[in-house]
Amino acid sequence: MITVEGVHKSYNGTEVLKGVSLVVPEGSVTALIGASGSGKSTLLRCVNLLELPQAGSVQIGDERVTFDGGNRPGRSEVLALRRQTGMVFQNFQLFPHRTALENVMEGLLTVLRWPRAQAKERAMALLEKVGMAAKADAWPANLSGGQQQRVAIARALAPSPKVLLCDEPTSALDPQLAGEVVEVLSQLAREGTTMLMATHDLRLASTIAAHVLFLDGGDIIESGSARQVFAEPVDPRTRRFVSSLSAVTGASAS
């Protein structure tokens, strides 16, 4: 479970998150939608404390970190919370000079200090899970975008994080390659992986998200089931945004 309360984040005096609160229940998927610049990525980065909010609190499982503007939390507190999370980025961010298998093993070896054989076994099992076992020895540059993203998902899952954070996981991919990533994320959702994901992909959000949050100018201005938000948005800003998404994808949420 992720609980975010009253998170404020400013850059050089410009408030990008204006007191955001949300709960992602254990074993469920929440999609974060909103126009470019609305703060989705910043919010995800505040959840794993890659960015430190100026105020508010973030809790994942039993780890909670509070910000009050004055005291900065200690590095060990920040790391303890971050280790509850795995992150999947829009542009994959695989290590280019490591094979698919080595990419997945990396965190297990360097952060968790697992023995090599054990790390390899877990990494192979994860590559199998995302349908990439046959490409274990391939270099990232020789993989399609969809394949790279599947390896990146395996890497994010390797240390068994409590939650998976995804920042536009399909938006760098053409529709067919996005489909294979949606497939893998859907499978994880069915298995009860707790996920918070920013996405413009109506198909992804409506397929796997139980809850949808609409962010506008650093505030969550509408939330509900995927059906409510996509099919019956209440706020005119949500309506405008959802119809712009449907127009781009040609899809309609059901």
Task: Return the biggest CA–CA distance within the chain.
Answer: 55
Say whether residue 115 binds ligand ADP (CB under 6 A): no
Cβ at position 168, least distance to ligand ADP in Å: 8
Among the listed residues 8, 40, 83, 150, the single contact to ligand ADP using CB under 6 A: 40
Strands (E), the chain: 2-11, 14-24, 29-33, 55-60, 63-68, 85-88, 163-167, 194-198, 211-216, 219-225
Say whether residue 13 binds ligand ADP (CB under 6 A): no
Continuous H helices in 18-88:
40-47, 75-82
Say whether residue 36 binds ligand ADP (CB under 6 A): yes
Cβ at position 41, least distance to ligand ADP in Å: 3
Among the listed residues 20, 22, 31, 42, the single contact to ligand ADP using CB under 6 A: 42
* CB of 82 or CB of 120, closer to ligand ADP: 82
Structure token pair of residue 118? 């054990």
Say whether residue 149 binds ligand ADP (CB under 6 A): no
Say whether residue 34 binds ligand ADP (CB under 6 A): yes
Distance between CA 135 and CA 151 in Å, rounded?
Answer: 9
Say whether residue 71 binds ligand ADP (CB under 6 A): no
Window 166 to 225, contacts with ligand ADP (CB under 6 A) = 198
Structure token pair of residue 4? 């975010």
Cβ at position 251, least distance to ligand ADP in Å: 20
Distance between CA 170 and CA 168 in Å, rounded?
Answer: 6
What are the phi and psi torsion angles at 90 (to 5°)?
-55, -45
- Applying CB under 6 A, the span of 34-42, 95-103, 118-126, 243-251 interacting with ligand ADP comes to 34-42
- Applying CB under 6 A, the span of 39-47, 101-109, 119-127, 172-180 interacting with ligand ADP comes to 39-47
DSSP-based three-state secondary structure for 32: strand
Quick one: which H or E segment has residue 188? helix 175-190
Nearest to 227 by CA among 190, 198, 195, 202: 202
Say whether residue 39 binds ligand ADP (CB under 6 A): yes
Say whether residue 16 binds ligand ADP (CB under 6 A): yes
The residues binding ligand ADP (CB under 6 A) are: 11, 16, 34, 36-42, 198
